[in-house]
Amino acid sequence: MADQTQPWAERTVEVPPQPGVGVPTQRDAFRPGVASVGQRRTPRTEQFPTLDQDPVDWSGSSAPRRPMSWHLAQLRRGGEWSAAGGLFAFVCWGIWAISGRGNLAAPLLTFVLSLLTAVGLFALARLLGRLIWERQLGRVRRTARGAHLVTALFLVGVGVAYLRQTEWVMTAWSWVTGR
């Protein structure tokens, strides 16, 4: 056993040689202490046979295809804008729907249609961004913040429209502004 008075980092344990376990055979003319910098290796593509015809790239771009998870992460960036606009529209819709004191089926349908319109506006903003920002200007979009901001502005406008249709809110607004 090692001397216990030595620091732990300096202690060594000697292992007796075991039968059947040896040093594995080395590959590629390995020499200890010498780096294999600059030695030519065959690329992996040369190890496999090539096809007679090259696959056709119908997308028209030379950029590599990205996985779906990358695209979804790109769409999520800026989503807090749409979420805030949606929350504002929902609260304003709730005030309008409760003030109507009637059946909530028709107000619920109008809110769902408003949300579907917001989704369509988001898709249109993404399409215009792709056509203008990427194709015409040659830039790379890393987020969807612009489309989320446009959608949030639309949803805030929808919320304000709901509040303008609520009589007691407009009465209170007139009293505050003095009109």
pTM to 2 decimal places? 0.59
Q: What whole-number distance in Å separates Cα of residue 55 and Cα of residue 29?
A: 39
Burial class (CB in 10 A: 0-12, 13-18, 19+), 92: buried
Q: Residue 115 contacts by C-beta under 8 Å, 6 or more apart in sequence?
A: 86, 89
pLDDT in tens, the chain (179 residues): 555 666 666 666 677 777 766 666 656 666 777 776 665 655 555 555 555 555 555 555 556 677 777 767 777 788 899 999 999 999 999 999 988 877 888 889 999 999 999 999 999 998 998 888 878 887 877 788 888 999 999 999 999 999 999 888 888 888 888 87
Overall size of the chain counted in residues: 179
